[in-house]
């Protein structure tokens, strides 16, 4: 359960920074994975 909460926070965080390609590269997120994360993030976070 705790892991789920952490994951949601992580998704929100990633979503906030998803417009920064240098940051994405530094955390090793590919374009395909980015899309996945954004879709999950959109469902979980209203930022």
First to last CA, the chain: 23
Tens digits of residue pLDDT in 6-35: 666 676 676 666 666 666 666 666 667 767
Query: Looking at residue 47, what is its pLDDT?
Result: 44
Per-residue pLDDT tens digits for 30-46: 667 767 766 765 665 55
Q: What is the pTM of this model?
A: 0.30
What's the pLDDT at 23?
Answer: 61
What is the CB neighbour count within 10 angstroms for residue 12?
14
Per-residue HEC secondary structure of 1-47 comes to CHHHHHHHHHHHHHHHHCCCHHHHHHCCCCHHHHHHHHHHHHHHCCC
Q: Where are the domains of the chain?
A: 2-44
């Amino acid at each position: 359960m705790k892991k789920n909460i952490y994951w949601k926070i992580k998704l929100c965080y990633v979503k906030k920074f998803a417009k920064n390609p240098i940051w994405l590269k530094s955390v090793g997120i590919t374009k395909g994975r980015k899309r996945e994360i954004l879709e999950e993030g959109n469902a979980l976070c209203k930022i």
